[in-house]
Structure 1
């Protein structure tokens, strides 16, 4: 186990305990000697971790602390790298650029032994279908979702028949070949899914009357989708 991983594990163990926990218990959970534990606690304190307590009394981590260089395990880094690479290849231009920036920021703050995991990750994204909607359209849809705005759309079904709809967009799903807007449809008075390649025109309008988080939770319940 790398030293950075050991310090991360110590932070995670301290987070699980709401009251002071003895050094002996911490050392046993981490799998290190008591002397190493005391040294690791001093290292974390020197880096700004608000760990209160002392030997013989116990230690507690004040809530709300995040230590950026030690936030991720090696597997968590691989998950971030894989996800960011997928987004950079399969999402719209602005979102892809943001994903590449995320990787750069992660690499900038990680310790050297973990930084190599980002640079040398063997998890790759294979070639896929080009996105169905243009960058500007997807970026505008994402903005409408974030700002909880209605969209007035001209939508064509699989037969090419067009209808005018007013929808409340709450999510954007990225599949390999299509992108789908999850929304409340005023015309159908219910939740519907709209492929972005069938939205022929749209305009972002006024705020919709309910909070997106409530609509999203309601949609998940109706669809029987477990929380992630």
Structure 2
């Protein structure tokens, strides 16, 4: 890897990290030595790149620093195109439209030599399964998730039995055959998953639930880890 490319990749590693990254971790990802990483960090600091930290503890990139948006590699472009293909075929109407717009914007801004990677990609997703009609507006659900507001769901289970739940939505899972609304259920006092195609009706309440949506999501991820660990123990 050329030195200029390596410096760029170090910035990318730090930019996507949520905690300090050690020289060991950077060296492993870039397949180089720690000594080279130390020299590269020093070079970036000499170019006024706002990196904080020190050897042995890890490095972070201060907020506000960015690189020109056109500096995308061929692999990064195809990753974006592949993701956009999947969302265009399986996302709700608003996200599907956004995915098609994203592909068009990428094709418009990348250098000419990389345009074929967008317009004639070497990657593709399989055709989607036919999905059932949904009555709930998932675009509005996403807006309510961002706002941390509650929903009242009128929901039918697999046997068609209807219940009414007030929930704290925190995530929408886009699966091959269904979309799942992940939420804290006030009735069950626990996390529950609701298939969007089984929602009979939904009321978008103005009430906010306690805490931030990101914290609620972390609680759900933690609960899933505990459940998976328990299932693994049961199989042993």
TM-score bin, normalised by smaller chain: 0.7 to 0.9
Q: Which of these two proteins has the greater Rg computed from alpha carbons?
A: 1
* 2:102 is equivalent to residue 102 of structure 1: yes
Taking structure 1 as reference, are residues 6 and 97 closer, same or farther at Cα in structure 2, changes over 3 Å only?
farther
Please list, as runs of the form range in 1=range in 2, the aligned pairs for 1:46-195 lying within 5 A after superposition.
58-62=46-50, 63=62, 64-70=65-71, 72-134=72-134, 137-195=137-195
Give the length in aligned residue pairs: 188
Moved more, 87-96 or 101-110: 101-110
* 2:222 is equivalent to residue 221 of structure 1: yes
Does the 8 A contact of 1:92 with 1:134 survive in 2? no
State the Cα deviation string for residues 156-206 of structure 1 (Å, max 9, x = none): 111111111000100000111111000000000010000111110111102
Offset, 1:9: 4.4
SS at match of 1:68: coil
Does the 8 A contact of 1:91 with 1:131 survive in 2? no
Specify the alignment match of 2:231 in structure 1.
Answer: none
Distance of 2:94 and 2:12 partners within structure 1: 35
Does the 8 A contact of 1:132 with 1:179 survive in 2? no
Specify the alignment match of 1:12 in structure 2.
Answer: 9
Distance of 1:69 and 1:184 partners within structure 2: 41
SS at match of 1:158: coil
Distance of 1:179 and 1:224 partners within structure 2: 21
Distance of 1:176 and 1:16 partners within structure 2: 31
Taking structure 1 as reference, are residues 222 and 173 closer, same or farther at Cα in structure 2, changes over 3 Å only?
same
CA RMSD of aligned residues (A): 2.9
Distance of 1:175 and 1:138 partners within structure 2: 14
Does the 8 A contact of 1:131 with 1:179 survive in 2? no
Distance of 1:160 and 1:186 partners within structure 2: 21
Distance of 1:193 and 1:52 partners within structure 2: 46
Taking structure 1 as reference, are residues 79 and 210 closer, same or farther at Cα in structure 2, changes over 3 Å only?
same
SS at match of 1:126: coil
State the Cα deviation string for residues 14-44 of structure 1 (Å, max 9, x = none): 5679xxxxxxxxxxx9x9xxxxxxxxxxxxx
Distance of 1:90 and 1:223 partners within structure 2: 24
